[in-house]
Amino acid sequence: MKTQTILNIMFFLAWFVFIALLIKAGTILTTFSISWFNDMAAEKMYFDLDLSMYKSYSPIHYSLIVINKVILITAQAYVALLMTELLKGFNLKNPFNHLTVRLMEKICFSILVIWVMSIIHNAHLKALEKSVGLSAEYLDGSYLLWSALVYVLAQVFKRGVEIQTENQYTI
């Protein structure tokens, strides 16, 4: 398969992920709103997401957990949107440019923010688990690894831009 075809497929998939994450965030927000009037909605928030135990314990903690989840999902959607911008503007003939580096750095720092937010979310759940005995499902902590990987790639592209600029001036 040609590289441009693969990039086009990845562009489509990035848009698909972006839209799916926005739908997920909207669904959770809608169900959260409904759950204030119907307790059954907290049990069936989104597929297998059951937050009814938090709602029955404390509406404040329940709200914090839901808001944090929505913010995390929205931040992930933002990363997917940045990926669409990166793939849309990616030029195979001149891959090393300042726009690509800037977008890769934005993606890196956005993933880093998601990692920090997931640590805060996990700490909140762990505190609830300890004090009240509620069982919790923790978020995956692999965001730091992904952030580091994207940062390294951004630095490689940054160096590529520098070398490309030097070569333009020496010719």
| 73 vs 68: CA distance, rounded Å | 9
Q: What tens digit of pLDDT does each residue of 41-88 get? A: 777 777 777 788 888 888 998 899 999 999 999 999 999 999 999 989
Q: What is the 3-state secondary structure (H, E, C) of the chain?
A: CCHHHHHHHHHHHHHHHHHHHHHHHHHHHHHHHHHCCCCHHHHCCECCECCHHHHHHCHHHHHHHHHHHHHHHHHHHHHHHHHHHHHHHCCCCCCCCHHHHHHHHHHHHHHHHHHHHHHHHHHHHHHHHHHHCCCCCCCCCCHHHHHHHHHHHHHHHHHHHHHHHHHHHHC
Two structure tokens written together for 78: 């933002």
List own/partner pairs for 54-63 with CB under 8 A and 24 or more apart: 54/128, 54/134, 57/128, 57/132, 57/134, 61/124, 61/128, 63/32
pTM to 2 decimals? Answer: 0.84
Q: What tens digit of pLDDT does each residue of 82-112 get? A: 999 998 988 878 888 888 889 999 999 999 9
pLDDT of res. 171: 54
With a cut of 70, say whether residue 137 has pLDDT above it: no
Q: What angle do CA 136, 130, 48 make, to 5 degrees?
A: 10
